[in-house]
Amino acid sequence: MLWTPQVEALLSHKSVRSFLPEALPEGAIETMVAAAQSASNSSSLNQWSLVAVTDPALKQQIADRVARSVPVARIPWIEEAPALLLWVADLSRGAEITQGAGKEPVVLDYLDSFLMASIDAALAAQNAAVAAESLGLGIVYLGVMRNIAKELAEMVNLPQHSFITFGMAAGVPDPARSSSIRPRPAQPAVLHYNQYQQDPDRAWLSDYEAAYQTFRKRQNMSEKTWAGAVVESATSMDYLGGRKALRETVIQRGFSLK
Ligand SMILES: Cc1cc2nc3c(=O)[nH]c(=O)nc-3n(C[C@H](O)[C@H](O)[C@H](O)COP(=O)(O)O)c2cc1C
């Protein structure tokens, strides 16, 4: 490893799911957005937006709605966090500007345009996450927001040609309920030089399972193996939550995915 303070900060990341009941420091959201806007973005088209939900009533309404989509009564970290950030893959500005110029935005009908905006939203969000962590704040990504993609878009008044790719709860971590850093598999699991090497033996797996078990035990989580979790995520329709009809929702939101 080549060690720098930035690398150290990246390797110290952990999702935060327990927040203190205090607001974000003034300027925190704007600082996160400045970092987000500094991320690379496809062709400099700036095809993402952020809806920062800070109104407690609206946030609670969203928390209640999303909790009804999963087999738990509440998702406390959405309720506790002072800000719920909704990261939007946003082709609406491009569509409007193009139509305003009297042209049809035909390229936006293709899958690649949707993918491009989604990639850019994710890169922006990750820069914002890193900035937040550097301020001593904590975040957790919320893919669960896609369970209610259709209703959520209406709740925050999203225009056509835009889609909430995921949410992010952000706040001041509660030090009394802090988690530890989650282990990752050893690099041979993910790193290939020059040619992808298929790896049926998975020599890295036993160490990773051991670290995974230690982590889960320390966090008082139920016993399960990582490989078991992988299989469950690939086979249980429950894992999909409300996202079975996501393709239709995305198309209804104005993406043709040709
Ligand atoms: C796109 C995305 C969506 C996620 N969605 C959720 C979610 O809905 N709920 C949740 O508790 N964690 C969610 N997470 C957090 C992951 O579970 C977490 O990043 C992973 O377990 C690794 O742990 P760490 O972030 O603490 O290192 C999501 C992460 C990503 C990148």
| CATH label of the domain that carries residue 121 | 3.40.109.10
Residue 189 in any domain: the answer is: no
Pocket of ligand 1 (CB under 6 A): 13-15, 140-144, 166, 182
pLDDT (0 to 100) of residue 16: 98
Residue 190 in any domain: the answer is: no
Reading the block at residue 186, the tokens are 């050893």
pLDDT (0 to 100) of residue 241: 84
pLDDT (0 to 100) of residue 121: 98
From 13, 141, 233, mutation site for ligand 1 pocket: most ligand atoms within 8 A of C-beta: 141
pLDDT (0 to 100) of residue 75: 95
**Crossing angle for the helix pair 205-218 and 226-235, nearest 10 degrees?**
90
Residue 244 in any domain: the answer is: no
Reading the block at residue 146, the tokens are 């896609």
Q: Which residues contact 70 (CB under 8 A, 6 or more apart)?
A: 144, 147, 241
User: Domain residues for 100?
Assistant: 5-179
Between CA 127 and CA 13 the distance in angstroms is 13
Kindly report, residue by residue over 44-77, the tens digit of the pLDDT.
999 999 999 999 999 999 999 999 999 888 999 9
CB 23 within 8 A of CB 170: no
């530890």: which residue's tokens?
Answer: 180
User: Residue 142 C-alpha to ligand 1 middle, in angstroms?
Assistant: 7
From 12, 19, 140, 148, mutation site for ligand 1 pocket: most ligand atoms within 8 A of C-beta: 140
User: Residue 95 C-alpha to ligand 1 middle, in angstroms?
Assistant: 31
Between CA 50 and CA 56 the distance in angstroms is 17
Phi, psi of 227 (to 5 degrees): -60, -40
pLDDT (0 to 100) of residue 77: 97
Between CA 233 and CA 237 the distance in angstroms is 8
pLDDT (0 to 100) of residue 95: 98
Between CA 213 and CA 218 the distance in angstroms is 9
User: In 3D, which of 117, 115, 112, 111 has the Cα closest to residue 94?
Assistant: 117
Can you say how many angstroms the Cα of residue 180 is from the centroid of all Cα atoms in its chain? 19
pLDDT (0 to 100) of residue 41: 98
Q: Which residues contact 210 (CB under 8 A, 6 or more apart)?
A: none
Residue 9 in any domain: the answer is: yes
Residues of the chain with confidence (pLDDT) below 70: none
pLDDT (0 to 100) of residue 250: 98
Rg (CA), the chain: 20
Residue 231 in any domain: the answer is: no
pLDDT (0 to 100) of residue 42: 98
Residue 191 in any domain: the answer is: no
Name the residue with the closest Cα to ligand 1, atom 15: 141
Which atom of ligand 1 lies closest to the CA of 145? Answer: 8
User: Residue 206 C-alpha to ligand 1 middle, in angstroms?
Assistant: 23
Query: How many structural domains compose the chain?
Result: 1
Residue 253 in any domain: the answer is: no
Residue 207 in any domain: the answer is: no
Can you say how many angstroms the Cα of residue 64 is from the centroid of all Cα atoms in its chain? 19
DSSP code at position 88: E
